[in-house]
Amino acid sequence: MPGSAMIAITSTAFMLTIILILWRPNGLNEAIPATAGAFFVFLSGSVSVADLGKIGVTISGAAITIIATIVMANVLGSFGFFYWAAEGLASRAKGSGIRLFWYVNLICFLMTLFFNNDGSILITTPILLILLEQFRLKNQDKIPYLISGALIATASSAPIGVSNIVNLIALKIVGMTLYMHTAMMFVPATLGLLFLLFLLFLCFYRRLPRILPSIKIRFDDPHIGPDHPPNLPPGHHAGHRSSHHPSHHPGHRPGHHPGHHPGHHPGHHPGHHPGRSPEHHSYHHPAVQAPTINNRNKFMRNILFFVFLVRVSLFIASYLGIPIDLVAVSGSLLLLGWRWLFFNISPSDLLKKTPWHIFVFAFSMYVIIYGLNNIGLTNWLIGFLKPLVSGDLHNASLIMGALISLLSIFFNNHPALLIGTLTLSNMQLDPLTLKIAYLASVIGSDVGSLLLPIGTLASLIWMHILKEHNVKVNWKDYVKVTIIAIPPTVLFTLIILPYWVEWVYKIIS
């Protein structure tokens, strides 16, 4: 039996860690409070040395897979891929604000599927800010695109488990393969995303500009790129902007040289921002000069096709029992080697830009959650939940989805899903009920958590980027939308989930 001191220290360490992660004083890297919390949990005795070994095995594959994905995103960024994608998005809008809404959300969905939810936020948000500036939209007209894009980008980690590190860790805990997760989750989660997008369109329909200025946006101009904003159209006055001088990028505050990314002060390396987490600069504004590329469209399409093949190979590897982290690393190394061979760009720039702290954060958070498990939290949850979820697949879906949604909203989705998954793995449910309850937990973690901005790290990063660029989206603007869109989406997805999973389970059994 754990002693009162052990329980008190472990519980206090958990609460203080969550407070500091959500508060992030002075842009504190989330790995720092997580490491401190894990240290005190270990000192309390609620986690043993043997437990640390188990935790390392559990999180290592997920962390390696996510970091390999981030490396691929950074390589594409060094080619100017994401600016090219934004350029295509602008041209396809054809002057329609409504058409732009659908394309913005499509690109946010695809970025999460091809990379991960945090990466999608970090990639798309700065580019959308530049794009919306070029269309001379006022702050209130930018909000529909920014909020809907952020919600879709974050929620899009639900259909495939590889788009979110906590989903990958939870898969390992519950003993489900990536292939099985996708087979059972892709259809209901994607239908839920379409339902969410429909609700967001209804929320924003009256606010979407019907006609956009006819502007040709080119991000491959020598004066436009990672460190220089596109030229503003003639006659564009300061009154059309959020109090920025016309020569400034959305993130270039008055007094900053236009060649500097915000926060890149003289004497500081571009890969390091004082007081901020490395993840805030890991995906955009590459540190190397983008190479000159002939037939740019063909080149970008070929690169995208390669990334698509790597993503597909993850599911094939999962089906064949090959470690997916091995496949992810192989794909990243091939892309890095190809870039080095043909463009003479060494991988050294990515050593500085890759957020290695993800290892530390994932390991430390799981240590804290494992400590809570060892002091009896999951036993208490098992006693409370097992009678409710056993024997009824719809109860299992609705109850676990709602519970993890609530835990995520108030404590962040990372610890919420880990707690829920540990509880389910020890509940001794039948295989079908376990799978439905687990997948419902993922829906609560990936979608239900979006009711408040503190529910996910991706939402917090998004709010931080907007604040840096002086774009005002406050909690009231955010919650006015999510209170209408998120609860119905979660309920809809949780209701259809058991029907699809039961059908797939019968086929594969």
- The per-residue pLDDT for 120 is 85
Give 228's DSSP letter.
Answer: B
Query: Can you tell me the distance from the alpha carbon of 400 to that of 407, in angstroms, rounded to the nearest whole number?
Result: 10
- What is residue 339's three-state secondary structure? helix
- Residue 223 forms part of a structural domain: yes
| Residue in the block written with tokens 């390696």 | 64
Q: Which domain holds residue 284?
A: 31-211+218-508
- Mean pLDDT value of segment 63-67: 87
Q: Does residue 424 or residue 227 have the better pLDDT?
A: 424
Q: Per mean pLDDT, which range of 119-128, 277-286, 496-505 is the poorest? A: 277-286
Answer whether residue 23 is part of any domain. no
Residue 90, classified by CB atoms within 10 Å of its CB into exposed (0-12), middle (13-18) or buried (19+), is: buried
In a domain, 11, yes or no: no
Is pLDDT at 407 greater than 70 in this prediction?
yes
Residue 166 lies in a domain: yes
Are the CB atoms for 97 and 213 separated by under 8 Å?
Answer: no
This prediction's pTM:
0.78
CB 441 within 8 A of CB 435: no
Helix and strand numbers (H, E) in the chain are 19, 0
Provide CB contacts within 8 A for 320, sequence distance 6+.
Answer: none
Q: Which of 369, 328, 316, 351 is nearest to 58 (CA)?
A: 369
Q: Does residue 12 sit within a domain?
A: no
Residue 153 has pLDDT above 50, yes or no: yes
Q: Is residue 263 over pLDDT 80?
A: no
Beta bridge partners of 96: 211
| pLDDT of res. 252 | 41
- Which of these, 140, 139, 111, lies nearest to 125 by C-alpha position? 111
The region of weakest confidence among 81-85, 108-112, 213-217, 492-496 is: 213-217
**CA pair distance 207, 27, nearest whole angstrom:** 33
C-alpha pair distances (Å), 382 with each of 76, 79, 386, 407, 420: 45, 50, 5, 16, 10
**Could you give the CA distance from residue 333 to residue 323 in angstroms, rounded to a whole number?**
16
Give me the number of domains the chain comprises.
1
Q: Specify the higher pLDDT residue, 234 or 345.
A: 345
Q: At a CB cut-off of 8 Å and minimum separation 6, what does 369 contact?
A: 415, 418, 419, 422
Q: Does 286 map to a domain?
A: yes
Is there a domain that residue 316 lies in?
Answer: yes
Residue 327 lies in a domain: yes
> Picking from 280-284, 474-478, 491-495, which range would have the lowest pLDDT averaged per residue?
280-284
